[in-house]
Structure 1
Amino acid sequence: MPETALPEVVRRRGRYRRRLRSRIILSFVLLGFCLTTLFAFATNWARMRVENQLVEDVMNRNLDASWQSYMRSGGTDVVAPVQQMRAFLFRPDKLEGLRRDYPEWEGLQDGIHTINGEDAEGKPFSYKVGVRKTPDAWFFIAYDMGQALRGEQQLNRALFLSVIIFSLLSWVLGWWSASRVMRPVSDLASRLRAYRGGAKHPEPLAPRFPDDEVGQLAEALDDYSERLTEVVQRDREFNADVSHELRTPLAVIRGATELLLARPNLDEKVLQRLQRIQRAEQQCSDLIGSLLLLSRNERAQGSSNVARVAEQLLESHRAQLGGKPLELVLEGSRELVVDAPESALSVALGNLIGNAVKYSQEGRVLVRVGANAVEVIDNGPGLSEKDAASLFQRGYRGTHAGHSQGGGIGLSIVSRLCALYGWQVDIRPGKERGVIATLTFAPEQP
């Protein structure tokens, strides 16, 4: 993983950890809030139901007592005393007082009724009325609910305060629990971040954690780390073996070619073939070096003149044109120097020039060196939308590849080299036809 990507990964991990802790705290707060709210609602509902039931039972008993007292008195206006209530008796033939003082009672049927409204001063009132109508007399029992309403308001305020207090307590408990739960996870993440692959075998994590879910995660990470270390070790050994086994025959080819080229009076055809072998050996050496750097994700030190490397690549392709009517042209700045070895630049730029030469059947291929970039412009068949979307995928071969040789990995290697050195590569269709490939280099560090 590139070093520049590590801070972003660390930030994402920290954000996910905070989100997990926040979710735990939020779960506790929601649980406490919902349970307290449900309890408050149930308490208020039970209080109202019990209170109404008790009031109605008392009112019904007082109505019965008033009727019995009326019957025992032989039809006089005497009624039994009423507990915390007011009793009224009206004869059916004398309802003037009822219509004057309590007009809303006249139409009420037998039973218990609730009357709500506002008085002359605009203050709300509420009371219950018990009604018992007989042919001889109408009995009314009135119970003022004002005190009950004030008690209900006080209870509601107490319940609302309880919801807030218990929600705050749930938040404190959730924060404490989340800290306890997340501490081993944070410790595990810190130990993983602290390890940078310096040791051949990383220190096991599982012995440092209890035998719980985090411990099981640590064991799985240890197992994965062990297998990954074996893979990395095999990869390093393979790279070292490949580097040695490939560079040795290339060195032999290079030495033999230099000895043969040093001979005087060589035939022109033999000379051209030897030079072609020499160029092919140099291209193989550059490619092997670049691939080994990519496999180790390391930058090689050095500097390269872009125009000189481009001229060498164009000269190599001129020798392989055969009879193709194609002109290879270099123009632009000769002073652009990039902070990269010639082998890496040769592989990246060589793939772009090689594709331009391969797909252009006539006309010219122009390599233009700018202030901080180089463009490769050809007169080939152009670029389709499908090619533009998949051009840098490993193994992808363009729609115009036909039966040409190649495995479709050239531009993938270019893309990986650009990511390694901080360059940018862009391939777009030309104005009329062909393709324009642009390789933009990273600015020089101060």
Structure 2
Amino acid sequence: MPENAAPRRPRRRGPYRRRLRSRIIVSFVLLGFCLTTLFAFATNWARMRVENQLVEDVMNRNIDEYARRFASDSSRNPDLPVQQMFARLVKPDRFEALRQEEPDWYEFTDGIHSVSGTDDRGQPYSYKLAVRKTPQAWFFLAYDMTESLRGETQLNRALFLSVLVFSLLSLVLGWWSASKVMKPVSDLAKRLRAYRGGTSDPEPLAPRFPDDEVGQLAQALDDYSSRLTEVVQRDREFNADVSHELRTPLAVIRGATELLLTRPGLDEKVLQRLQRIQRAEQQCSDLIGALLLLSRNERGQGTSNVARVAEQLLDSHRAQLGGKPITLTLEGARDVIVDAPESALSVALGNLIGNAVKYSQDGEVRVNVGNNAVSVADSGPGLSEEDAAKLFQRGYRGTHAGHSQGGGIGLSIVSRLCDLYGWQVSVRPGGDRGVVATLTFAPKLLA
């Protein structure tokens, strides 16, 4: 079983948790980036498509006109219809020479072809080549796209810059929008943090917010706060009633018992029964005091001698052994003082000693008081893995409980007292048999 078997409180999430404000900002940035990137891609694609279509239409018309003029007057080379283009006419006797000069042109079929590369000076070039091949001649019409390629590079740079600028604008817009959207929520959270339950009639939140989603949330919190306040008030009234109604008859029992114990000549059996009633009254008073402290979630005032409380508990259990061959012993330091009332210490330590006595049929129950801890070792049946995992759960009675009395809340109360006072409780298997329960006190609570 783990060293500390008490249930632990859930941990808070780490710093990696993303706030809602950050999510809004990131959403705006992603939206702006995606839209501008898509617009830039669509713009570049449309420009290239339209430009290519226009250039190819112009080249097709010009090369057709070039071929028509040659067919009408084959005795001379026709003039180039458009001056921005370069035309070349290859007659049949020059076909093989073209193979040597321009092998790519020789292999081209009729149509429009894109040609690009670098010249002898390392400068990039690009042009479109229109090809018409007839038995009488081959016609080539080239359109220089180098300037268009440079313009495309400049356009891509401009589009990239626009994507960057609009992404930054989206970041600024997202930051501003998140501040505006989250301000009412932040104000609501600030007011909730400011209220620490210092009054039984908290100020309503809904009137301070507009009638929107945040206002509806504030209204729901007001309703929840109202119901919670009613529950807390009823709980306080119940605790006060229980404290009064139970302490009164216990005080009567204590007074009557003390009065009877002062009478001389009491029968031995009557004396033992009166002492048992006195011990039971003291246990009830301690338990009521501890439970009231738990219900209020506040520490009681006072100090306790651990060895003295343990000795009182052992004396109480010696009188209730009922003939079981068990030896109850106390060892260790006698001067350890804990900054806690005897009622709390008696309930916590008494449950550990009570369980040890209950589950031990013979042998020894040994209480050892150390510098900052007290341990209770028994000779019972031991501790199973199932018990180790569920021992401090409310209502769990253990696999060795059998038909013994009890509701399985003793160790749960011990665990809650430990949380209240900063103690630690652990239960582990003993050496050959039995169980060792250890109650460790917080150093700052040691007097």
Give your verdict on TM over 0.5: yes
1:146 corresponds to which residue? Answer: 146
Alignment match, 1:121: 121
**2:236 alignment partner AA:** R
Q: Is the 8 A contact 1:303 1:337 kept in 2?
A: yes
Q: Deviations over 1:282-336 (max 9, x none)?
A: 0000001111111111110111010110010011000000210111111011111
Amino acid at match of 1:160: F
Match of 1:74 in 2: 74
Cα deviations across residues 394-439 of structure 1 (Å, max 9, x unaligned)? 0011000000000000000000000000000011111222111110
Aligned counterparts, 1:26-45, within 5 A: 26-45=26-45
Shift of 1:72: 2.0
Q: Distance in 2 between matches of 1:341 and 1:231?
A: 28
Structure 2 distance, partners of 1:78, 1:283, is 124
Question: Equivalents in 2 of 1:365, 1:78: separation in Å?
Answer: 123
Q: What's the CA shift string for 1:216-272, capped at 9, x where partnerless?
A: 000000000111111111111111111111111100100000000011111111111
1:99 and 2:99 are equivalent in the alignment = yes
Secondary structure at the aligned position of 1:94 is classed as: helix
TM-score between both structures, scaled by the size of structure 1: 0.95
SS in 2 for 1:438: strand
**CA deviations over 1:42-95 (Å, ceiling 9, x no partner):** 001101111111111111011111011112223532243324110010012322
Cross-structure match for 1:243: 243
Question: Where does residue 157 of structure 1 map in the other structure?
Answer: 157
Alignment of structure 1 residues 160-171 onto 2, 5 Å:
160-171=160-171
Q: Secondary structure at the match of 1:400?
A: coil
Question: Aligned pair 1:225/2:225, yes or no?
Answer: yes
Q: Does the residue aligned with 2:141 lie in a helix, a strand or coil?
A: strand
Aligned amino acid, residue 391 of structure 2: L
Q: Which residue of 2 aligns with 1:190?
A: 190
Over 3 Å counting, the alpha-carbon distance change for 1:180 and 1:12 in structure 2 is farther
Q: Can you list the C-alpha shifts for 1:98-134, whole angstroms capped at 9, x where unaligned? A: 2343221001110001112232334333221110001
Letter of the structure 2 residue corresponding to residue 85 of structure 1: M
Q: Is the 8 A contact 1:356 1:380 kept in 2?
A: yes
Structure 2: distance between partners of 1:373 and 1:123: 87
* One-letter identity of the residue aligned with 1:326: I
Question: Is 1:316–2:316 an aligned residue pair?
Answer: yes
Report SS of the residue matched to 1:112. Answer: strand
* CA distance in 1 between partners of 2:83 and 2:234 (Å): 96
Q: Per chain length, whose mean CA-contact separation is higher, i.e. which structure has more relative contact order (CA < 8 Å, sep 6+)?
A: 2
Q: Corresponding residue for 1:344?
A: 344
What is the CA–CA distance in structure 1 between the aligned matches of 2:410 and 2:124, rounded to whole Å?
Answer: 87
Instruction: Measure, in 1, the Cα distance between the counterparts of 2:161 and 2:277.
Output: 90
Letter matched to residue 55 of structure 2:
V
Tell which deviates more after alignment, 34-43 or 424-433. 424-433
- Indicate the residue corresponding to 1:215 in structure 2: 215
Give secondary structure in 1 for the equivalent of 2:408. Answer: coil
Q: State the Cα RMSD in Å.
A: 1.7
Contact 2:80–2:86 at 8 Å: present in 1 too?
Answer: no
Closer/same/farther in 2, CA of residues 15 and 66 from structure 1, 3 Å limit: closer
- Counting aligned pairs with the same residue, the percent is 78
1:84 matched residue in structure 2: 84
- Residues in 2 aligned to 1:92 and 1:337: alpha-carbon distance in whole angstroms: 119
Q: Distance in 2 between matches of 1:322 and 1:75?
A: 139
Alpha-carbon separation, structure 2, partners of 1:281 and 1:196: 38
Structure 1 stretch displaced more, 66-75 or 241-250: 66-75
CA distance in 1, matches of 2:351, 2:423: 15
Residues 74/15 of structure 1: CA separation in 2 closer, same or farther (3 Å cut): closer
- Quick check: 1:69–1:80 contact (8 Å CA) kept in 2? no
Between the aligned partners of 2:183 and 2:431, the Cα distance in structure 1 is: 60
CA contact (8 A) 1:32 1:166 kept: yes
Which residue of the partner structure matches residue 5 of structure 2?
none
Q: 1:13 to 1:236 in 2, by over 3 A?
A: farther
Tell me if the contact between 1:70 and 1:79 (Cα under 8 Å) persists in the aligned partners.
no
2:108 maps to 108
Shift of 1:337: 0.8
Distance in 2 (CA, whole Å) between partners of 1:118 and 1:436 is: 88
1:4 maps to which residue?
none
Provide the residue aligned with 1:441 in structure 2.
441
Q: Which moved more, 1:79-88 or 1:179-188?
A: 79-88
Matched, 1:21 2:21: yes
SS where residue 394 of structure 2 aligns?
A: coil
Q: Equivalent residue of 1:142, what SS?
A: strand
Q: Distance in 1 between matches of 2:123 and 2:382?
A: 87
Say whether 1:364 aligns with 2:364: yes
Give the CA deviation at 1:97: 4.6
1:369-408 alignment, distance < 5 Å: 369-408=369-408
> SS of 1:139's equivalent?
strand
1:335 partner amino acid: D
Stretches of structure 2 that go unaligned for 5 or more consecutive residues are 1-9
Given that 1:378 and 1:434 are in contact with CA atoms closer than 8 Å, whether structure 2 keeps it comes out as yes
Given that 2:356 and 2:376 are in contact with CA atoms closer than 8 Å, whether structure 1 keeps it comes out as yes
Measure how far apart 1:212 and its partner are: 0.4
**Residues of 2 paired with 1:420 and 1:57: CA distance?**
88
Give SS of 1:140's match. Answer: strand
Rounded to whole Å, the distance in 2 between the matches of 1:203 and 1:314 is 52
Aligned residues: 437
With structure 2 as the length reference, what TM-score do the two structures score?
0.95
- Tell me the amino acid that sits aligned with residue 178 of structure 1: A
Aligned residue for 2:329? Answer: 329
Tell which deviates more after alignment, 254-263 or 139-148: 139-148
State how far apart, in whole Å, the 1-side matches of 2:242 and 2:176 are. 56
Hey, what does 2:431 align to over in structure 1? 431
Q: Secondary structure at the match of 1:143?
A: strand
Q: Secondary structure at the match of 1:38?
A: helix
SS in 1 for 2:140: strand
Structure 1 regions of 5+ residues with no counterpart?
1-7
Find the aligned partners of 2:86 and 2:16 in 1 and give their Cα distance.
68
Change (3 A) 1:80 1:68: farther
SS of alignment partner, residue 120 of structure 1: coil
One-letter code of the match for 2:298? Answer: E
